[in-house]
Amino acid sequence: MISSKLYNFPHSFSKNLNKCRLLAQNKLDLTKSYQCSISETNSSMMTDNERQRWHSALQQLKRSGEYDRMSAEHRTVGSNSGAHSGPGFLAWHREFVKRIEIAVRMLDPGIAMPYWDSVMDNYLPDPRDSILFSPLFMGETDSSGLVTNGPFAFFRTLEGRNAILRRLAIEGKLFSEQAINNILAQPQVTNMQAYTAPQAGCPFQPQFGAMEYAHSSVHLWIGGDMKPPSTAANDPIFFIHHGFVDFVWEMWRQNHQNRWQRESTWPPDIATCSNPQHFSYANMRPWDKTNKDGLSNEYTDFLYRFAPRATCSQQNPSCGSPYLFCDTRWPAHCVAKVKQGGLCRGFEGFDVCYNGVCVAGWCRPGQFAGAPTTRALTTVTQPSTTRRTWAPFTTQFRTTTPRSTSRWTTMQRTTSGSRTTPSSLARSSGNTGVSRSFDSAILSNVNCYNDDPCCDAWVRLKNSKLETFHNLAKD
């Protein structure tokens, strides 16, 4: 889960300096607040209360028209831009996700933007049965692929359809641990910020393991609105998917570049390798920034951090969330739970079913009799600017301390027999991931974090971090 003409929220808010001061206080210790709450709760997962508040904030943005305005920004750069098919991809989407996160936090400063670590769904025999695709999280679809329940049911799209469209698992695939490790192992910036649409004469060959290609495969797996860039941001899953993409990029930056290199190194500007809109000093359309501004360390110094990815071990088989379980087979790893009626074949004996038990390969109502591999969450009350992984979207907040990614070996599971599901929903293996959300007042026509009076009020506090935050958020 932000800058120039960004938030059109109520003047009444901008004139309320008490609320401005409240927001400022919530921002003062950006690098400490969630870290403290992690220590107190021993959990990096988003609580049910936090998740519901995140859902509520997105619903308010949808009702106010702000969600659609931001979605339309992505549509305008769907093709022939510096946002896709080249080195500018990661930086552009970092800025875009920053903007939706600030919009959410304008409504509820205590909520962090979640990310979706789809690796955890990919371990399931059928990721479509993940608890992620249930009314608790991203919602389910009807026979036409329309999202008809959950927090985003009947979200009218920019094209006028009365609901979001998904076509799960017809093509593409979710992230795997091996794919993430392969991405993190890439040695050069041209491997990470890759030329993904080079022309004849480009001295760099296509890098088919590049993040942009791998990320696109997840878009294809979700399908429907998520498939073409012009409609992808219709679906809120877009933002939690890109939150994880941003996290992996930051892990790569921390592992392969020093602080100076992270802000200065950009692939060569070569016309045969990418559209000139991907060049380092090209305008990051539609904002008053350059592409290279997207490399700034200030994003993760002052705006957000990432929570570590969910982990477990044979000694501590807990993933910290009731929506995840620990597969203790070596190497132990966290997996998304399966919703009622879903396929659990291969996980008999594990706490794989949410509020149920795996019987003959299917999740049925009942109580798991084995040793629990999940732990109830403790509500976090402190404000956070860390990005979290939901537990289907496990709630992991952003933190610039990357997790060790040593799970090179991914257990391959095959299932025998066929499932009686519509043939149009071809099965594919996939992964599960992670999650973001001022009070109930709806804001409009105000550009806070940009030129709103709140921004000046915060800067007058003469806090250096706030001043940096103010300057970064303003275009």
Do 382 and 36 touch, CB atoms closer than 8 A?
yes
CATH superfamily placement of domain 11-312+377-400+432-473: Di-copper center containing domain from catechol oxidase (1.10.1280.10)
Q: What is the pLDDT of residue 386?
A: 57
Q: Determine which of 94-98, 201-205, 287-291, 372-376 has the lowest per-residue pLDDT on average.
A: 372-376
- 150: which residues sit within 8 A by CB, 6+ positions away? 134, 135, 136, 137, 138, 139, 140
| Of 467 and 38, more confident | 467
Q: What is the pLDDT of residue 369?
A: 80
Write phi, then psi, for 7 (nearest 5 degrees).
-105, 120
Q: Determine which of 37-41, 285-289, 363-367 has the lowest per-residue pLDDT on average.
A: 37-41
Do 7 and 450 touch, CB atoms closer than 8 A?
yes
Report the b/e string of 392-415 with b at 16+ CB within 10 A.
bbbbbbbbbebeebebeebeeeee
Secondary element (H or E) of residue 363:
strand 362-365
pLDDT tens digits along 194-239: 999 999 999 998 888 899 999 999 999 999 999 999 999 999 999 9
Residue 302 CA to residue 291 CA, distance in Å, equals 19
Radius of gyration of the chain (CA): 21
In the chain, the largest separation of any two C-alpha atoms, in whole Å, equals: 66
pLDDT tens digits along 330-355: 999 999 999 999 999 999 999 999 99
pLDDT tens digits along 113-155: 899 999 999 999 999 999 999 999 999 999 999 999 999 999 9
pLDDT band at 54 (very low <50, low <70, confident <90, very high): very high
Domains of the chain, by residue range, sit at 11-312+377-400+432-473
